[in-house]
A and B are shown apart, each in its own frame.
Chain A
């Protein structure tokens, strides 16, 4: 299920871990795992990504468990990017409970060492942490299978997913066209394809279900923010 890229390192230290998740229950879950392990020391646990980045600037951190979806969207990705730019030696495991289609690719682009699905991950979190600190890069090989009507993620093109993502914040076809720099006719066509593939007859219902299932998540909360 998880694809492994091996490096060489084998370390025998206690690693300093920072947990970043704005949901208290999730953060508590991560804290339990870190505190229960001989190999890790919890040095900071926070819900705010700005504080997390600042903490890395001022303190030693070896590993970050970074939740992607925060109060203002996918801020976890931006925070991870900044940490990797400023402190390339810090290892990062991106974590999420959402199967949003683009996050694995974006995490790799940022240089996050590993990725773990909270809900779908078959491997224990501590195992992912151990393998990451041993120099492995651990990413899921497969996306969680999310059924949207008659279709799954694999049935959609990247552009269709982009259009669907904008639909979930209530944008009209012309607004989507402007944002994605394509024609309104193209948007109309993509929406028609989405409806045909899924079997939905209502674009609103399609957008609602896509968001509820977490197949696509707009990085911004409201249309007014874009």
Chain B
């Protein structure tokens, strides 16, 4: 259908109607899935990054705390997407270290650096909200290259 939209002169309307019906059905059809609440979000994020062509490399000790892993996972998802879409890179580096009572997580990629200051909208804005709610902080630098630095408290009481 997208092809028809872009090349309307090349398609037959009857054939297109048939494609539309099948496409509509295909788009709505999805295999049923089991409860995925126990699946590790960090592993999922790494896998999802690879699916969009970004290899995610994690350095340092990965925290066992599920909530911290989830915050890191969100960072990987956001930065992998930006690496592919904006930086033209194919590697995302996630460096984790502890510093006193905090985790420091630095996200960098092997793509092109931003040409101008990065504005926190959409996904980055959402990620910042998540980090602040967690009790952490987020900082972005774009010169000489893009770097997203996240600081999280070591403990998270639930």
**Residues of A bordering B, CB below 8 Å:** 14, 19, 22-25, 27-29, 31-39, 41-48, 51, 69-73, 122, 124-127, 130, 168-170, 202, 204-205, 207-209, 211-212, 218, 221-223
Contact = CB atoms under 8 A, between A and B. Distances in A.
Given A28-B44, A46-B34, A36 B20 contact: no
Interface string B105-129: 0000000000000000010011011
A32 B25 contact: no
B58 interface: no
Contact of B8 (A32, A69, A205): A205
A32 B45 contact: yes
Interface stretch (B68-76, B91-99, B141-149): B68-76
B158 interface: yes
Contact of A127 (B25, B33, B122, B129): B129
State the majority secondary structure of interface residues on B: helix
Nearest to B135: A38
Given A23-B30, A71-B32, 11 more contacts: A22-B32, A28-B36, A32-B44, A32-B45, A44-B37, A126-B130, A168-B20, A169-B24, A208-B4, A218-B24, A221-B25
6 contacts: A22-B30, A34-B70, A37-B133, A47-B32, A126-B133, A222-B25
A51 B122 CA distance: 32
Contacts of A221: 24-25, 27-29
A28 B48 contact: yes
Nearest to A125: B126
Nearest to B74: A32
Interface of B: 1-2, 4-5, 8, 13, 16-17, 20-21, 24-25, 27-30, 32-37, 39, 41, 44-45, 48, 66-67, 69-71, 73-74, 77, 122, 125-126, 128-130, 133-135, 156-158
A51 B67 CA distance: 26
Which of B28, B34, B45, B122 gathers the greatest number of chain A CB atoms within 10 Å? B28
A212 B77 contact: no
A27 B73 contact: no
State the majority secondary structure of interface residues on A: mixed
B152 to A, nearest CB: 10
B67 A35 contact: yes
Contacts of B16: 204, 208
Given A38-B133, A47-B30, A222 B21 contact: yes
